[in-house]
Structure 1
Amino acid sequence: MIGRMLVLVAALVAVPVGAQEYYGDMRPDAPELAARGPLQVGVRTLVAEHKDQLDILHASAEQPNPRYSRKLTLEVWYPARLAAGQKEHTVYTDVLGSGPNDPARPNTPFQFNGRAARDAAPAAGQGGRYPLVIVSHGYPGSRLQMSYLTENLASKGYVVVAIDHPESTRADKAGFPSTLLNRRLDDLFVLDTVAAWAKPGSGNFLAGVVDADNSALIGYSMGGYGALNTVGAGISASAVAYVPGGALAVNQQGNAEYEAARDPRIKAVVAFAPWGGAHKVWDEAGLAGVRTPILFISGDQDDVAGYKDGVFRLFQGAVHADRYLLTYVGGRHNSAPNPPSPAAWSNFDDFMAYSEPVWDSRRINNINQHFVTAFLGIQLKKQPLQAYLELTPLGADGTIKPDPGLWKGFPKRAALGLEWLHLVPQ
């Protein structure tokens, strides 16, 4: 009898990860703004080639300046106009593993469902073009690892472009100096590329659709490092040594070329578990260079980016920026990605690359959707959503006590385990 009950329970547990699961759909306890928006969503895959870049992984004393082209695969989600019979459904193909030639974690293709129509026609914006959101993954990661969020934002009237950073994906992971050097350069190149595509007559499907002058960056882990570096957090002089030959000086605080590259088109940053704070990538002067509003999201047990000496230090140090910090109490580093695919369950390390030990990933996804919707709605669309960010800075301390008041948008008793802080610019 017990054996049959266990079989039944296993069968029931298997149902939610079946063929028609869509990451990002709302749980019953999801906060209000996690709901999908009113617009239908299309998705396309494009490639942009950044020519004549420093090939840092092949630089040497004998050949200090080798050059190559960086081919960036981009996944683009956008408000769409579906043809008769076309459905918001696609199948994404990604890979597990931690880079090529790792016998313990071989690159294994896997698929999962997306709630977007492949190659659908774009829908014209009501009252103007759609703001641009550029998404940058971790090391290693992929352009698809936050599809729950990218699809959700597109349904709310954004064009979302997620980058596969060469030498930094699970499929092609290579030396870390490439990631340190190229994240900011890739982000700005994609911004320039989409801006060119957006011009009338460009021949690209985004012509007249996207407003690249009204943009945000979303970055996870090394993507968060790159986003902060892009908006004015110049690295310290000591951190330049992390890349051979002094090449990282192009991203250094105080470098005239770096300072001139600040881009006013970027109006907001969402930094999930940004790497670098605990590794002394930035000093006080570097962090003080940021003036762009930032939403930080992190677990307080992050053992990759660090919390008190890592993300929290960055939050405190960006003194000239309006910034928020959402903390998952008991959370580690995986505050940003999709839930682990069933394909990852057979390998502990692949599973733990997506999963959180304490938190349910789908719950985290819904909370992220809620707060990112409010933050970007305020910064890019001037929507009256500030009340969703004016929250009592309460956190869970392991005790049960009377509810001191609801966070706006959260069902009663559903904000447990979260901490919220807000600091205004000095």
Structure 2
Amino acid sequence: MNRSRLTLSLALLTVPLAAAQTVAPAPLSVPGDLRPDAPELASRGQYAVGVRTLNLVNKGQLDIVKAPKEGAIPRYDRPLTVEVWYPAPGVSGSGSVLYRDVLGSGPNDPKRPNTPFETPGRATRDVAALQGGPFPLVILSHGYPGSRYLMSYLGENLASKGYVVASIDHTDSTHADKAAFASTLANRALDDTFVISEMARLGTAGSGSFLSNVVNADQTGIVGYSMGGYGALNAAGAGYGPQMAPLVPGGALTQRQAGNFTVDPRIKAVVAFAPWGGDAAVKGIGVNFGGKYGFWEDAGLANLKVPTLFVVGDRDDVSYYEGGVKPLFENAVNAERYLLVYQNALHNSAPNPPPAASLSNYDDYMHYAEPAWDMTRLNNLNQHFVTAFLNLKLKGQADAATYLNVPVPVSNNAKYSRNADGTPKADDTYWKGFKDRTARGIELYKLMPK
């Protein structure tokens, strides 16, 4: 040890114990905070954020988990826990909260036990809602398994910008209660539309709810990840093909086939992160019922008429890109749609960064992480592009389109060319909202209805 290190070590040993205990801990890393290279719309909005937990019950639903091999499926009152983020009085980013969740892949899995962990946030629990609305509604729908906190960074961010965000714990599909996959297949879109109706009810004048006059469910967007994307597309009109009916007992999936349901007119936009089910072979379910586009045929995709933003990694190994999400984007011919591609990303384009509790378990860690990307960077990009899309489609802010209608679709090919005062030169093709050298590894495409 050199003399300077020895002197420093001896000095540290002489610090009184009481003084050492008063040293402030390092600040927690909060999902949704910005890296210095974050694009313009990633930042939090003008509002402080409140958060509350709702316990809703959708009565008389088919109990797919308890379906017998033969005969009628029993019915039950389906519980749904929903986390609601909303604009609140106060200073933007001023709140502090801990979201309590568990890791794992369902109960009683010895390889991935339900390990508790906490995710910090910048919201205030149970505070009154701001009365400056009503604000558009956003439904957040997690993957399988997942939780209502899986995308807390995005829920808080959107609430700070004037949205009410309802994030669903889909029963039978969370880390804590994962059950028969058929329940997830049958219930995702039904959960989404039920929660929209409940939020509308709570938002009416005189409802007695903290959401009274706060939420405008007539302007609703659904943001779904993986199985959440699968359900969001269906809720917005993309009916499943009849070949998929055998995957759910009692033909329960037939109610979500093309032509068998009416699209909720309150749904005005969809963001589908790595939506599962578009691969023609529908890999991972043990059978090959898949149609032309997995769960979808041309007729089903043609019924998707809601503006849709698809987000996917071009190396997605769960929902797939070339044979999965990209064909959905290309063949939803009656919708205005965008395709945001993260180069070299796998399936985890949407979640919070990996919690510290996941570092000792490879499978839990890889449930959150992207090997080729920093997750905070991905979160910031999602905040930027989802904000632009929802501001355009739910709030009618025409200038938001300039962040989506990029001059060149591959960001690596964009040219940053500015005058001394920062204004663009004639040959500038850089993406709006990105600082020099920061639009890298991203692609963005747009197709209009035929």
One-letter code aligned to 1:390: N
> 2:308, 2:336 within 8 Å by CA — same for their partners in 1?
yes
The 5 Å alignment of 1:6-155 reads: 19-82=27-90, 88-125=95-132, 128-155=133-160
1:420 aligns with 2:427: no
Q: Shift in Å at residue 396 of structure 1?
A: 6.5
Report what 2:409 is aligned to.
394
Aligned length: 404
Report what 2:269 is aligned to.
268
> 2:273, 2:350 within 8 Å by CA — same for their partners in 1?
yes
One-letter code aligned to 1:28: P
> 2:408, 2:414 within 8 Å by CA — same for their partners in 1?
no
> 2:416, 2:430 within 8 Å by CA — same for their partners in 1?
no
Cα distance in 1 between the residues matched to 2:96 and 2:415 = 44
Report what 2:435 is aligned to.
411
1:238 aligns with 2:243: yes
3-state SS of paired residue (2:73):
coil
> 2:142, 2:226 within 8 Å by CA — same for their partners in 1?
yes
3-state SS of paired residue (1:385):
helix
How high is the sequence identity, in percent, across the aligned residues? 57
1:219 aligns with 2:233: no
One-letter code aligned to 2:265: P
3-state SS of paired residue (1:330):
coil
Cα distance in 2 between the residues matched to 1:225 and 1:308 = 17
Cα distance in 2 between the residues matched to 1:394 and 1:379 = 21
Q: Shift in Å at residue 392 of structure 1?
A: 2.8
Unaligned stretches of 5+ residues in structure 2: 6-24, 283-293, 418-427
3-state SS of paired residue (1:150):
helix
Do the aligned partners of residues 210 and 402 (structure 1) sit closer, same or farther apart at CA in structure 2, a change above 3 Å counting?
A: closer
Unaligned stretches of 5+ residues in structure 1: 5-16
Report what 1:12 is aligned to.
none
Cα distance in 1 between the residues matched to 2:429 and 2:269 = 29
Cα distance in 2 between the residues matched to 1:224 and 1:212 = 20
- For 1:293, which of 292, 307, 315 is the aligned residue? 307
> 1:43, 1:75 within 8 Å by CA — same for their partners in 2?
yes
> 1:19, 1:113 within 8 Å by CA — same for their partners in 2?
no
1:189 aligns with 2:190: no
Residues 195-214 of structure 1: per-residue CA shift (max 9 Å, x gap): 10011111111011110111
3-state SS of paired residue (1:381):
coil
Give the TM-score taking structure 2 as reference length. 0.87
One-letter code aligned to 1:51: K
Larger Rg, first or second structure (1 or 2): 2
1:316 aligns with 2:330: yes
Q: After TM superposition, where is structure 1 displaced by more than 4 Å over at least 4 residues in a row?
A: 399-404
> 1:277, 1:309 within 8 Å by CA — same for their partners in 2?
yes
Cα distance in 2 between the residues matched to 1:101 and 1:121 = 39
Cα distance in 2 between the residues matched to 1:330 and 1:323 = 22
> 1:224, 1:272 within 8 Å by CA — same for their partners in 2?
yes
Do the aligned partners of residues 41 and 402 (structure 1) sit closer, same or farther apart at CA in structure 2, a change above 3 Å counting?
A: closer
Cα distance in 2 between the residues matched to 1:330 and 1:18 = 32
1:306 aligns with 2:320: yes
Cα distance in 2 between the residues matched to 1:250 and 1:30 = 43
Cα distance in 1 between the residues matched to 2:415 and 2:245 = 49
> 2:47, 2:90 within 8 Å by CA — same for their partners in 1?
no
3-state SS of paired residue (1:378):
helix
Q: Shift in Å at residue 402 of structure 1?
A: 8.2
> 1:396, 1:416 within 8 Å by CA — same for their partners in 2?
yes
The 5 Å alignment of 1:150-165 reads: 150-165=155-170
Q: Which moved more, 1:350-359 or 1:86-95?
A: 86-95
One-letter code aligned to 1:196: R
3-state SS of paired residue (1:121):
coil
> 2:416, 2:436 within 8 Å by CA — same for their partners in 1?
no
Q: Shift in Å at residue 395 of structure 1?
A: 2.6
> 2:342, 2:442 within 8 Å by CA — same for their partners in 1?
yes
1:354 aligns with 2:361: no
3-state SS of paired residue (2:255):
helix
Cα distance in 1 between the residues matched to 2:162 and 2:414 = 40
Do the aligned partners of residues 400 and 116 (structure 1) sit closer, same or farther apart at CA in structure 2, a change above 3 Å counting?
A: closer
- For 2:171, which of 166, 173, 176 is the aligned residue? 166
Cα distance in 2 between the residues matched to 1:354 and 1:20 = 18
> 1:82, 1:117 within 8 Å by CA — same for their partners in 2?
no
Q: Shift in Å at residue 18 of structure 1?
A: 5.2
Residues 37-58 of structure 1: per-residue CA shift (max 9 Å, x gap): 0111000011100111101121
Residues 289-324 of structure 1: per-residue CA shift (max 9 Å, x gap): 100000110000000001111110110111000000
Residues 367-413 of structure 1: per-residue CA shift (max 9 Å, x gap): 0000011100011111121111110343367x999886310001111
Give the TM-score taking structure 1 as reference length. 0.91
Task: Tell me the C-alpha RMSD between the 2 structures.
Answer: 2.0
> 1:82, 1:120 within 8 Å by CA — same for their partners in 2?
no
Cα distance in 2 between the residues matched to 1:161 and 1:204 = 14
Report what 1:251 is aligned to.
256
Q: Shift in Å at residue 284 of structure 1?
A: 1.0
3-state SS of paired residue (2:394):
helix
